[in-house]
Structure 1
Amino acid sequence: MTSSTPVPQERKLVTELPGPASQALHARKGAAVAAGVGVGLPAYVVRAGGGILVDVDGNQLIDFGSGIAVTSVGNSAPRVVAAVTDQVADFTHTCFMVTPYEEYVEVCEQLAELTPGDHEKRSALFNSGAEAVENAVKVARTATGRTAVVAFEHGYHGRTNLTMGLTAKNMPYKHGFGPFAPEIYRAPMAYPLRWPGGAEQCADQAFAAFVDVVHSQVGESNTAAVIIEPIQGEGGFVVPPPGWLPRVADYCREHGIVLIADEIQTGFCRTGDWFACDHEGVVPDLITTAKGIAGGLPLAAVTGRADLMDSVHSGGLGGTYGGNPVACAAALGAIATMRAEDLPGRAQAIERLFRNRLEQLRSKYDVIAEIRGRGAMLAIELTAGAGDLTPNPTATAAINKHCHSQGLVTLTAGTYGNVFRFLPPLSSPDHLLEEGLDIIEDAFAQVLG
């Protein structure tokens, strides 16, 4: 794929990482930024595009993270840059709830067209994924007159009080921050690798366990919503077995429960479809989006059935910055890029390239228990090896550190900290992806021998 960005698409290391200028900035960070705001690789970026991040020392790093699935169209996609530049020159803010503007409406029209299902839809725009999830729950509770929400083990939904309650992972997201919002219940996740009855039994047994939680712990008539990531993100890119998600959707429909698909990380071409729900034809009642929607600017949305979205009283949804005009312009530029460059198809091509190399790596190292994911949202889970599924966060951290030292931005994930997640920009050229995979292969060799 040819990059249209002026950033040279090549890795270049001119200093050790982090370099002296980054180290100086990191010292300033320590003196000015709260310690709770952590940094994975303290190489301070000054420019980026395609699949490359350029730091203050002149190092050029290969990006396998996309700012956690945000810059799917690249960090400086021309259509996004042009749209944002024009919008900034016109106006930066009025607040849609005070004096509205067309860009907000157009984003909602695009969402109605692109999200799963051909039913009548409405959208509301917000700033972050957590805000979108909170507002989806508000809509579900208002529409159903019920209060309970069912989430899943290993799920991640945000850092606000309600979304921390929905999130399954304690450290670092929940530890010390409680108490959390009430009326949240948790069902087992259909996690084939770690399902106690084995992968072959996972779909049936996990669905039965989900039904049991709703029926026995909550009550169907008390359940406002079930929220699920079609492929879990922070939980380790857990992909449920085929057929499980459609069964959950059918069960919710049967009992008048609102199904919320959290597609904040999976949405907008990342998985090889426009949305991960498309893979099995699942049509959620509500879908939350953010991350890849706007090419790096803060924007999020709740999109769903018109009757549900319109059940909330006027003024009940919104926020000062929600659907900011500059962010909306960026989203329109990003969506135009996704359409013009067939980024679902690009994600599928990236998957083929990655899977081939990762399968070769797995054949050499039995600590790789599984390769999973779809499109350009792939992961490998590291364990003790030789059939022992004990998580191996030590090797994961060491391999991650080596990748960083060689100028490859990698991300770990998983409830047990033993999963590598690969989220390259869909604008990355193949030669950078291959070079990044070379670095990963070398990192395994250096750490594991």
Structure 2
Amino acid sequence: MSEQPPKTSMSNAHVESQYDDYVMPIWKSLNVPVKRSDGCTLVDFDGTEYLDVFSGISVTNVGHGNDAVVETASEQLEELIHSCSYVHPNEPMGKLAETIAEISPGNLQKTFFCNSGTEAVEGAIKLARKHTGSKEVIGLEMGFHGRTLGSLALTGNKSYKNGMAPTINDVAHTPPPYAYRCSQCDGGPCDTTCADQLDHIIGTHTSGDLAAVVVEPVMGEAGIIVPPEGWLDKVQQITHDHDALLIVDEVQTGYGRTGHMFASEHYDLQPDILTQAKGIANGLPLGAFTAPEAIANSFESGDHLSTFGGNPVACAAALATIDELSDDRLRAVRDHGEWLRSRLGDLETVFDCVGQARGLGLMWGLELVDPDGTGPVSDAPAPDPKLAREVGTHLREAEQLVIGVGGYYKNVLRFQPPLTITRDQLDDAVSAVRRTLETLAD
């Protein structure tokens, strides 16, 4: 027997070097290689613990290593790992489809399972095209729906498209409900006037062959942009007036993130098609899109398929995740959201570099600005992505806090912690942000 090489002792530096040498250069590092995690805590290979308020980009909604999810998935691993769920029906996928019909808003009934949010969006567009017989699609400026060529065409942000050539050409974009930087609202309360622009976009950018309008009920990658009351209703009405479907992308907002199972419930909105992923299975790869029976049945055999979609282990984990999202848990998320509204609002009042705090539930953004700079579009101060990067780095290195930094202008701190976070942990996170702003802000 040949002599085995000695086992390399893992360290942060070693794991990062493996990524540098062997992983395609697209990975975005928060500079916290993770060895293990639990609840709201990440532990790196050097033993340093971090409070996580980003949850793997809004994924581990019921906490890292949730016991119920781990146990359920482990039991399913021993029973059945894979059969191709669209060839051999299995219990977890059937039960999950039934459960989603029960918890979804409106009369959404039938679900297609895939592996990611991007796939869910692509599938939803195909379904809308098949049902309506039309081809054109409209998204929101600054919206984000994925990085494959089809979903990238729908994404309204040049920074994700550089060097690419989206293959769906029948796509247009309408303005987002971004009141803080809206030329019509001029920084004041949004009166939903921007929703009327959708009708204008349909009239000027389409050929009368509209299949769907795709919106996020809270725009995550754009910088946690929350539409005002009535905006989504108006968008849906205009969409239906043109015999098109409203696809609501709840990949980031679903499964308790905003304090309801789906963010659509905040607005009493009933989507024509609902896309889901991220928090659906608490970290296992699973995506889905759900539609009423009349729309779903437009698909015929062979129109769509996924080899791994509806994987029984991922579906079992999703069922356990949904069980963990009790009414009490969702109520706590809403309570945390109101607490954050007050505490983050205080930062907006105290620091000139905090332009706006906005969010719902445990999905909040803190927009950082240069108060002396002139901003784009409206009278709001200039975005300050440099300060946002510095704050994110300082929080990680000096406060052991992992937070997202993003937004269309790359100047928004993103609070999207596991929904299991305690009030004390939230207080620690906000206090760390305050100390960091006191240190770094001029």
Q: One fold, TM greater than 0.5?
A: yes
Q: Which runs of 5+ in 1 are unaligned?
A: 1-19
Question: TM-score, normalised to structure 1's length?
Answer: 0.92
Question: TM-score, normalised to structure 2's length?
Answer: 0.93
The partner residue of 1:149 within 131, 137, 158 is 137
Equivalent AA in structure 1 for residue 432 of structure 2: I
How many Å separate the matches in 1 of 2:410 and 2:189?
A: 25
Equivalent AA in structure 2 for residue 51 of structure 1: C
* Pairing 1:126–2:117 present: no
The partner residue of 2:389 within 383, 393, 397 is 397
Q: Counterpart of 1:352 in 2: which secondary structure?
A: helix
How many Å separate the matches in 2 of 1:282 and 1:248?
A: 11
How many Å separate the matches in 1 of 2:380 and 2:193?
A: 22
Match of 2:61 in 1: 72
Match of 1:104 in 2: 93
How many Å separate the matches in 1 of 2:227 and 2:411?
A: 18
Q: Deviations over 1:326-380 (max 9, x none)?
A: 10010000001112x6332121122133223212222221121111110000111
Match of 1:22 in 2: 12
Match of 2:33 in 1: 44
Match of 1:196 in 2: 183
For the 8 Å contact 2:105–2:265, the answer to whether it is kept is yes
Equivalent AA in structure 2 for residue 238 of structure 1: I
Query: 1:132-281 counterparts in 2 under 5 A?
Result: 132-171=120-159, 173-198=160-185, 199=187, 202-219=190-207, 221-281=208-268
Match of 1:426 in 2: 419
Match of 1:16 in 2: none
The alpha carbon displacement at 1:317 in A equals 2.1
Q: Deviations over 1:193-239 (max 9, x none)?
A: 111022557434212211100122214x4100000001101011111
How many Å separate the matches in 2 of 1:388 and 1:238?
A: 15
The alpha carbon displacement at 1:250 in A equals 1.7
The alpha carbon displacement at 1:388 in A equals 4.5
The partner residue of 2:25 within 18, 30, 35 is 35
How many Å separate the matches in 1 of 2:91 and 2:271?
A: 27
Q: Deviations over 1:229-257 (max 9, x none)?
A: 01101011111221111111122223321
How many Å separate the matches in 2 of 1:358 and 1:209?
A: 31
Equivalent AA in structure 2 for residue 109 of structure 1: E
* Pairing 1:85–2:74 present: yes
Match of 2:343 in 1: 357
Aligned length: 425
Equivalent AA in structure 1 for residue 440 of structure 2: V
The alpha carbon displacement at 1:179 in A equals 4.0
In the superposition, relative to structure 1, how do residues 362 and 204 fare at CA in structure 2: closer, same or farther (>3 Å)?
A: closer
Root mean square deviation, CA, Å: 1.5
Q: Which runs of 5+ in 2 are unaligned?
A: 1-9, 373-378
Match of 1:4 in 2: none
Q: Deviations over 1:286-343 (max 9, x none)?
A: 000000100110101100111111101112222110011110010000001112x633
Q: Counterpart of 1:269 in 2: which secondary structure?
A: coil
| Deviates most, 390-399 or 200-209 | 200-209
How many Å separate the matches in 1 of 2:369 and 2:349?
A: 14
Equivalent AA in structure 1 for residue 47 of structure 2: G
How many Å separate the matches in 1 of 2:366 and 2:384?
A: 12
Match of 2:51 in 1: 62
How many Å separate the matches in 2 of 1:279 and 1:29?
A: 41
For the 8 Å contact 2:180–2:380, the answer to whether it is kept is no
Match of 2:7 in 1: none
Identical positions, percent: 34
